[in-house]
Structures are given as C-alpha cells and as structure tokens.
Amino acid sequence: MSAKVIADALAGTCLISGALLSLAAGVGLLRFPDLLSRMHSATKPQVLGLLLILTGAALRLQNTIDITTLVLVGLFQLVTAPVSAHMIGRAVYRAGQVRRDLLVVDELADDTRDHGPEHA
C-alpha cells in the first residue's frame, strides 16, 4: 500500500461521509415540523459536510496553492454560517413562526417580558 492509495482511500471516505451528511440535511429539511428544527438539520452540509468534502479534495489535490484556497473556503464558511443562522433565527422568532409546543425553554420570551419587546 503506497501513500497515494491510502490518501485516495481517505479522500473517498471523506467525500462519501460529506455527501451522506448532505442527504441527511435534505431529509431533515423536508420532514422536520418547524423552521427552527429545519435550521438544525440545515447546518449539517454547511459546516461538517463541507469540511469533510474539502478535506477529501485537499487529500486528492495535494498542492499548496489549491489547499490554501480550500482552507480559505472552509474558514469563510465557518465564520459566516453562525452569523447568517443567527440572523435567520432572529427573523423567524420575530415573525412568530416558532412552534411553542416544541420548545423546551424560551429565554428570549423572559427577556422581552422584563425589558420590553424591542429586545427580541
């Protein structure tokens, strides 16, 4: 077993696991009952799935410039995904599209009761 074969096997495993995570997100997006739980499944290909596939691509390309681009894409995704998820989650809460019966705890409701609705 040469190093190249091992790298290819690792890359294949990474690619298939990333694709499986994307499929899991698709199933969750279609079947989960409300928007907040759908956002939970939506993060799977955005972070872990993408990072796995980028790792697989880096193992296959094995070139400093290409790997730098891949790291850049991964870093950018890691920085932006939480920000956009936060914005969408807050918009969902403000639009009143949260299913209260599925929530375990709602600290934002306590805050808005104590400090006024503009804190939502």
Partner 1 sequence: MIIVAVTVTVLLSAAVALVLARLVRGPTALDRIVAVDVLLAIVVCAIAAEAAYTRDATSLPILVGLSVLGFIGSVSVARFAPRGRR
Q: Which of residues 46-105 bind partner 1 (CB under 8 A)?
A: 46, 49-50, 53-54, 56-57, 59-61, 63, 65-66, 69-70, 72-73, 76-77, 80, 83-84, 87-88, 90-92, 94-97
HSE on the CB side for 107, CA within 13 Å?
0
Applying the rule CB under 8 A, the residues between 11 and 30 that interact with partner 1 are: 11-12, 15-16, 18-20, 22-23, 25-27, 29-30
| Residue 110 touches partner 1, criterion: CB under 8 A | no
Burial readout 90-116 (b: 16 or more C-beta within 10 A, e: otherwise)? eebbeeeebeeeeeeeeeeeeeeeeee
